[in-house]
Amino acid sequence: MFYTHNLISEFPVTGCPEIKMRNILKNRTALSTVVTTLIILVVSVLLAGVVTYFAINVTSTRVQEENLHLTKQHIWHNMTSAQGAVMIINTGGRDVVLDRITVRGQDSLWTDIYYNVTQGAFSEDLSFSSTIFDTAINNETLTIGGAPYIFMQATNDLVLPSGKTMLLYVNSPDSVSVNDVGLTVAITIFSSQAMYYKETNVQAV
């Protein structure tokens, strides 16, 4: 009996409840480690996704804050002097200050610039005007497409509100001569955030 008891004590059977409990505890510990690792990985991926989305959203918002569209650009020469015109549409989400206007890289004086800011749609093309710069007062009315538009003489930086359109004329850009007729000339509009560039051919009138 003594020998049998010692043998059982030294070699316990595998179906013993004590051994099963130890195995269960070991399995739970291993499972807990795996679950913890998975949770950490999932949280890391989620955090990375949130940060990436936030960065993209902020960047997109900043980029879309200001957006000007230049169209209907012209440079004319009547064998005496040059005249430029361009339409600027503020398609961005905020007002824009235009602080510099150049033709072929040369700055235009504010006193040589006449402008009109309109809310409605404008589909007509801009045309050469022989009277817009002849007046001694600081505004002139031009009829474009059958509608009158009052052009004011600029004195300083111009403000173009969001969603509005500016019709802009430049008188006698110094860099354009009669010899430039047929050549490509650039009109550049500068704001505090960006520059907007448009090319056109010099036309004889």
Instruction: Give residue 175's domain range.
Output: 68-204
Q: pLDDT truncated to tens, each residue of the chain (205 aa)?
A: 444 444 444 445 455 556 655 655 555 565 577 678 878 888 888 888 887 776 666 555 555 589 999 999 999 999 988 999 999 999 998 999 999 999 999 999 999 999 999 987 788 999 998 887 765 556 788 888 888 999 999 999 999 999 999 999 999 987 899 999 999 999 999 998 999 999 999 999 9
Report which residue type is found at 172: S
Residue bearing tokens 């969001």: 162
Question: Cβ contacts of residue 166 below 8 Å, gap of 6+?
Answer: 87, 88, 89, 90, 98, 115, 116, 117, 118, 158, 160
Angle (nearest 5°) at CA 155 between 154 and 161: 60
Domain boundary among 63, 88, 115: 63
Give me the pLDDT at residue 140, please.
82
Identify whether residues 46 and 102 lie together within a single domain. no
Question: Cβ contacts of residue 124 below 8 Å, gap of 6+?
Answer: 144, 145
Give me the pLDDT at residue 205, please.
92
CATH code for the domain in which residue 150 is found: 2.60.40
Exposure letters 105-122 (e unless 16+ CB within 10 A, then b): eeebeeebbbbbbeeeeb
Q: What span, in angstroms and rounded, lies between the C-alpha atoms of 47 and 32?
A: 22
Give me the pLDDT at residue 8, please.
44
For residue 16, the SS3 value is coil
Q: What's the domain count of the chain?
A: 2
Domain boundary among 63, 83, 105: 63
